[in-house]
């Protein structure tokens, strides 16, 4: 028997994989809508037109980076300072791209470009979790990315066009939507003792670096140091 | 900020974010990674999530909160427990946000 047969049997159709990705990403969609709406509301208050707010979300898909950009714009920072700071906030995506790379080896460049474009903290964690169960493929990851992008853009559109009616989005607890998603995804990643060690190390190192380093360098430094500690300690 | 400056910010963020996300994924997926690097990368997801939780929960908006009375910390614990028990990403996120709103009202 050819050895490739089990793989072929285990390979679901493109549309079934894409649909599975959409389903996997639905919680991300539901989380992104309120946070995107909060971005839209605040963006309007800082002089963005609804169109500008939507274009920003649709092309950057930068979550925390976008919200920090608004803070900086509000405090009168220059264009260069705003772009540079959001880039530093999102430097961790270099690591995420690297960590995703073994899972996208056979994927064509345009599809890789889309997966990179829709790489966020949440799509990354959901796809990695799916890979661990050997279920993810390029189409399922494309589905996760698509639904996440839609949630972020739709939320921004709602927030930017109904800013007056929504008022202060924090009264709905919107500011906890991201930390809540991160917490659930953290528990999802901590599947064995080695990963629990890495998570605990990262938490402790992050606290120390938040006190020692100027913001937001701890976001990239803490995971790198913790992964190094875990690689050495759990050998 | 003027409309032109806002467009410059929007374009700059779009370019920067793609330039950050794409090269490492595309280049490393075409390389044969040594075993130690693959192991190191396998620890990045859990380490990054732990870092994001710590930053978002202990110091939201750049301000340290006293942990015992922080609705962020307690709501995060509830979120984690709900996920651990039910393995539902959506359920845990919703429970977390509801707990946060309730705790914020209770803790003041």
Residues B2-29 have pLDDT tens digits of: 899 999 999 999 999 999 999 999 999 9
Per-residue pLDDT of chain A (235 residues; tens, 9 = 90+): 444 444 444 568 899 999 999 999 999 999 999 999 989 998 998 899 999 999 999 999 988 889 889 988 888 889 998 998 888 888 899 999 999 999 999 999 999 999 999 999 999 999 999 998 888 999 999 999 999 999 999 999 999 999 888 888 888 888 898 899 899 989 988 888 999 999 999 999 999 999 999 878 898 899 999 999 999 998 7
Partner-chain contact A176 B22, CB within 8 Å: no
- The arithmetic mean of pLDDT across residues B90-103, rounded, is 94
Distance (Å, whole) CA A11 – CA B16: 35
* Cβ under 8 Å to B: A residues 73-132: 73, 79-80, 82-83, 86-87, 90-102, 104-105, 107, 109, 112-113, 115-117, 119, 121, 124-126, 128
Distance (Å, whole) CA B24 – CA A209: 25
Distance (Å, whole) CA A208 – CA A212: 6
* Residue A203 belongs to some domain of the structure: yes
ipTM for the predicted complex? 0.91
Q: Which two tokens stand for residue A39?
A: 């971005």
Q: Which domain holds residue A90?
A: 13-174
Q: Are A122 and A165 within one domain?
A: yes
Q: CB of B65 within 8 Å of any CB in chain A?
A: no
Distance (Å, whole) CA A195 – CA A199: 6
Distance (Å, whole) CA A43 – CA B3: 12
Of A27, A31, A223, the CB nearest to B51: A223
Distance (Å, whole) CA A151 – CA A177: 13
- CA distances (Å), origin A18, targets A23, A47, A136, A185, B7: 9, 38, 10, 21, 33
Q: Which pLDDT belongs to residue A190?
A: 87
* Residue A91 belongs to some domain of the structure: yes
Partner-chain contact B47 A180, CB within 8 Å: no
Q: Are A116 and A210 within one domain?
A: no
Q: Which pLDDT belongs to residue B89?
A: 87
Q: Which pLDDT belongs to residue A174?
A: 86
Q: Which pLDDT belongs to residue A216?
A: 81
Q: Are A54 and A115 within one domain?
A: yes
Partner-chain contact B54 A101, CB within 8 Å: no
Q: CB of B47 within 8 Å of any CB in chain A?
A: yes
Q: Are A84 and A148 within one domain?
A: yes
pLDDT digits (tens, 9 = 90+) for B34-73: 999 999 999 999 999 999 999 999 998 888 999 899 999 9
Alpha helices in chain A (DSSP H): 5-10, 14-45, 50-60, 64-74, 79-89, 92-100, 109-117, 121-132, 138-161, 163-166, 177-189, 193-212, 218-233
Partner-chain contact A223 B5, CB within 8 Å: no
Q: Are A40 and A90 within one domain?
A: yes
DSSP B9-67: HHHHHHHHHHHHHHHHHHHHTTS---HHHHHHHHTHHHHHHHHHHHHHHHSGGG----G
Q: CB of B60 within 8 Å of any CB in chain A?
A: yes
Q: Searching chain B, which residue's CA lies closest to the CA of residue A215?
A: B62
Q: Which pLDDT belongs to residue A77?
A: 86
Partner-chain contact B47 A55, CB within 8 Å: no
Distance (Å, whole) CA B32 – CA A37: 42
Q: Searching chain B, which residue's CA lies closest to the CA of residue A47?
A: B1
Q: CB of B32 within 8 Å of any CB in chain A?
A: no
* Residue A109 belongs to some domain of the structure: yes
Q: Are A216 and A161 within one domain?
A: no
Closest CA–CA distance from residue A132 to any residue of chain B (Å): 10
Q: Which two tokens stand for residue B103?
A: 């705790």
Q: Are A108 and A214 within one domain?
A: no
Distance (Å, whole) CA B21 – CA B24: 7
Of B7, B33, B45, the CB nearest to A102: B33
Partner-chain contact B17 A65, CB within 8 Å: yes
Region of residue B81 (left: phi > 0; alpha: psi -120 to 50; beta: else): alpha
Q: Are A104 and A163 within one domain?
A: yes
Among A207, A89, A172, which residue's Cα sits nearest to residue B73?
A207
Cis ω before A216 (30° cut-off from 0): yes
Q: Which pLDDT belongs to residue A76?
A: 85
Q: Which pLDDT belongs to residue A9?
A: 46
* Residue A2 belongs to some domain of the structure: no
* Residue A180 belongs to some domain of the structure: no
Q: CB of B67 within 8 Å of any CB in chain A?
A: no
Q: Is the pLDDT of residue B1 over 90?
A: no
Q: Are A41 and A154 within one domain?
A: yes
Partner-chain contact A172 B101, CB within 8 Å: yes
Q: What's the pTM value of the predicted model, to 2 decimals?
A: 0.86
Q: Which pLDDT belongs to residue A10?
A: 56
* Domain edges within chain B: 1-31, 38-107
- CA distances (Å), origin B5, targets A75, A76, A121: 14, 12, 28
Q: Are A43 and A124 within one domain?
A: yes
**Residues in contact with B93: Cβ distance below 8 Å, sequence separation at least 6, in sequence order:** A27, A30, A31, A177, A180, A181, A184, B79
Q: For chain A, how many structural domains are there in total?
A: 2
Q: Are A112 and A17 within one domain?
A: yes
């Amino acid at each position: 028997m050819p050895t490739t047969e089990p793989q072929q049997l285990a390979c679901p159709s493109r549309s079934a994989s894409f649909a599975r990705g959409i389903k996997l990403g639905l919680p991300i969609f539901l989380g992104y809508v309120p946070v995107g709406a909060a971005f839209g509301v605040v963006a309007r208050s800082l002089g963005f037109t609804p169109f500008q707010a939507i274009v920003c979300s649709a092309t950057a898909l930068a979550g925390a980076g976008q919200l920090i950009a608004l803070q900086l714009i509000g405090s009168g920072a220059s264009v260069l300072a705003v772009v540079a700071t959001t880039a530093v906030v999102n430097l961790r995506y270099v690591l995420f791209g690297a960590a995703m790379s073994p899972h996208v080896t056979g994927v064509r460049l345009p599809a890789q470009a889309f997966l990179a474009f829709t790489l966020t903290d949440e799509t990354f964690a959901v796809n990695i979790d799916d890979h661990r169960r050997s279920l993810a493929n390029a189409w399922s990851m494309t589905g996760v990315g698509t639904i996440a992008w839609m949630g972020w853009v739709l939320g921004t559109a709602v927030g930017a066009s109904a800013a007056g009616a929504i008022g202060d989005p924090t009264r709905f607890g919107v500011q906890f939507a991201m930390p809540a998603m991160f917490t659930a995804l953290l528990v999802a990643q901590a599947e064995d003792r080695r990963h629990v060690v890495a998570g605990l190390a990262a938490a402790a190192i992050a606290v120390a670096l938040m006190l020692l380093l100027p913001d937001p360098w701890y976001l990239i430094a803490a995971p790198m140091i913790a992964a190094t500690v875990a690689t050495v300690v759990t050998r | 900020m003027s409309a032109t400056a806002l467009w410059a910010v929007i374009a700059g963020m779009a370019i920067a974010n793609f330039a950050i996300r794409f090269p490492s994924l595309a280049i490393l997926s075409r390389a044969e990674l040594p075993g130690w690097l693959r192991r190191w990368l396998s620890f990045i997801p859990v380490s990054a999530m732990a870092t994001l939780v710590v930053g978002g929960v202990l110091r939201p908006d750049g301000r340290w909160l006293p942990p015992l009375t922080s609705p962020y910390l307690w709501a995060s614990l509830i979120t984690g427990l709900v996920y651990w028990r039910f393995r539902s990403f959506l359920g845990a996120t919703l429970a977390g946000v509801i707990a946060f709103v309730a705790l914020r009202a209770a803790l003041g």
